[in-house]
Structure 1
């Protein structure tokens, strides 16, 4: 979570774009890449992206233990889930792989704390009340750190990143256009925290 200010949230539809996309993002300074399990080629895309020197490739939208097993077989270096359940969290925690479960309220955070977790994805960030809601949640849960995702844009990311408990944000705005465009957007995103 401290490697880059922005973690690109990637939906890969065409396996042919996976490696060039990873190369452009890494060249722009964004090394942590979250490949969501929203497409049929997501696992293969992860494997292609892992071939890019410097890329740290993980799996997002992991919602059950079968997906967890599949992404581990594909070499996921971290796991992101949209929510937090004990059934999914227990084997991930036991594996030792970095894990960022989604939370949206105090009960979610308390469930995570019960499991020994202190780092969470605040999702869906804007729909869950935005920065005002996260500030309210972070006050009683001072020991926790967050990666807001969902509705974050290049324009709003600096405000989120200025809040100390936020270590990074997840965003999809850095992808789209040519690979040169992606690299340029990645360079701009990489300095948002500075």
Structure 2
């Protein structure tokens, strides 16, 4: 089994398995690969810390990998797998999503309206995250979820365009001394999801 050591902040995570996807015709890398971790927490940390980092001359993007049914039968812990795509190649990103079971690249799929927010401090709660994204003024926020103990959250917008603008504007925004990292949520918004903007967040009190 192939092992890959990935530098993450001040510590090192031991990946359980790593695979680079190759083009059989050209013998060259297709611009993306998969890294499996021993548990979900390590995978989440890798996504948070490695998204936006430079690998050689290219910036990488990380997100959850979703395998096909056939692959799921062979490997039941697929929820701990992360797909790393070459941020400079839209074709590679599209191929990665096709190979992992997604119908379309989130950037081009209007059904994706959720923003993944990583690198959050554990003290950042739902209300505080809501305030930061509400203050961007990019559109109607319909849902805010935060996993405080894991340091990430999700913001769902009314439209794909609003979510895309939020990712662009909020990526790198400093919250409690830490730059947050934004990308697309790993799943499209299900059809029939209730569409109702949340009320404005309560302003924080500062003495």
By the TM > 0.5 criterion, same fold? no
Q: Which has the larger radius of gyration?
A: 2
Higher relative contact order (CA 8 A, sep 6+): 1
More helix by share: 1
